[in-house]
């Protein structure tokens, strides 16, 4: 199983930018913790960060046929990007969105979320720990899909 973690604009500045909102942890530290979790679950994990909407869309599309799940923090694009929303819908993979802060308790414009309707679930407001929760959730989703596929395969073989 392979999970791709996609990070949007300004997340490369974690640990520097607005620590009162996002905390002192750097993106590299978050990824290191996620990598440990993936290794324990025997899941392949890949990381991607871009400040450019089109690059994020391209990476989502590249997941089709290559990955089984996506964890995404679209950051500011959460509130504006129909292109990212459409890319997530197009690849039809389990997708969990993560937001470090609770976007529902912030500025009014952050309360609009155009990608949530095409995601499997959303994790908001848990700080960097939200990424760990996303890993646990994605691993569970993928294990359930795998078990269901195995049951279908077994049922099909039993009919023959």
In angstroms, rounded to a whole number, what is the distance separating the alpha carbons of residues 18 and 38?
A: 28
Residue 77 is among the residues annotated as catalytic for this protein: no
Query: Residue 9: CB partners within 8 Å, gap ≥ 6?
Result: 50, 51, 52, 75, 76, 77
Residue 22 is among the residues annotated as catalytic for this protein: yes
Query: Tokens representing 19?
Result: 């620590």
In angstroms, rounded to a whole number, what is the distance separating the alpha carbons of residues 115 and 29?
A: 26
In angstroms, rounded to a whole number, what is the distance separating the alpha carbons of residues 141 and 120?
A: 9
Among 99, 104, 131, 132, which one carries the catalytic annotation? Answer: 99
Among 22, 77, 79, 131, which one carries the catalytic annotation? Answer: 22
Active site residues: 22, 99
């Amino acid at each position: 199983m392979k999970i791709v973690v996609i990070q949007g604009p300004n997340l490369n500045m974690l640990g520097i930018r607005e620590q009162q909102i996002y905390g002192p942890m750097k993106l590299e530290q978050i990824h290191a913790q996620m990598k440990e979790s993936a290794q324990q679950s025997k899941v392949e994990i890949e990381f991607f960060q871009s400040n450019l909407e089109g690059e994020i869309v391209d990476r989502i599309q590249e997941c089709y046929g290559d990955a089984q799940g996506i964890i995404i923090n679209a950051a500011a694009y959460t509130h504006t990007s129909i292109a990212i929303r459409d890319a997530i819908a197009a690849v039809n993979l389990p997708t969990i969105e993560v937001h470090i802060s609770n976007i529902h308790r912030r500025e009014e414009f952050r309360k609009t979320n155009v990608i949530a309707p095409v995601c499997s679930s959303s994790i908001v407001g848990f700080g960097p720990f939200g990424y760990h929760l996303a890993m646990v959730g994605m691993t569970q989703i993928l294990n359930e899909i795998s078990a269901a596929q195995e049951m279908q395969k077994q049922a099909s073989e039993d009919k023959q």
